Structure 1
Amino acid sequence: MADITMPMNGKVIDLKVAVGDSVSEDDELVIIEAMKMELPVVATEGGTVKEIKAKVGDSYQVGDVLVVLG
């Protein structure tokens, strides 16, 4: 299992996956807005989305878990 975490302080503006989706390494999972830029958060390994902890519109800090892969 892998926890996909927030790489920098910012706000989630889009979710690209749903629970149960299969993903490959480097697939986009979440789009964040940080420092007036839109940045993708990608899968660090392949797997299945087990849990989505992020909500669109919410702000998160570095290290907060956004998505759990299994």
Structure 2
Amino acid sequence: MVEVRAELSANVWQVRVEVGQTVALDDDVVVLESMKMEIPVGAPVAGTVAEVRVAPEDKVVDGTVLAVIDPT
């Protein structure tokens, strides 16, 4: 299992995946918002989304696990 982590403190603006969805390398998983900027967080591997651990409007810090992907 591969964890998708936040790289900065921000608010979750959009969750673009759901559990069971197949993603390719670099597909947007979550979009964070910080200081009016949108920061997409891409999938570090191709696979199937096993968990989504955040929802829109959640606040996250650097290192927070946003989602978990089961690589193919």
Q: Which amino acid aligns with 1:46?
A: A
Give the Cα–Cα distance (whole angstroms) in 1 for the partners of residues 34 and 5 of structure 2. Answer: 14
Q: Which amino acid aligns with 1:22?
A: T
**Other-structure match for 2:15:** 15
Structure 1 residue 36: Cα displacement: 2.1
Q: Which amino acid aligns with 1:19?
A: V
Unpaired runs of at least 5, structure 2 = none
Give the 3-state SS of the residue equivalent to 2:18 in structure 1: coil
1:20-59 equivalence runs, <5 A: 20-59=20-59
- TM-score when normalising by structure 2: 0.93
**Other-structure match for 1:66:** 66
Unpaired runs of at least 5, structure 1 = none
Give the Cα–Cα distance (whole angstroms) in 2 for the partners of residues 65 and 35 of structure 1. Answer: 21
Give the 3-state SS of the residue equivalent to 2:44 in structure 1: coil
- Percent identical among aligned pairs is 37
Give the Cα–Cα distance (whole angstroms) in 2 for the partners of residues 46 and 34 of structure 1. Answer: 26
Q: Which contiguous aligned blocks of 4+ residues in structure 1 show a shift greater than 4 angstroms? A: none
Name the count of aligned residue pairs.
70
Give the Cα–Cα distance (whole angstroms) in 2 for the partners of residues 32 and 2 of structure 1. Answer: 19
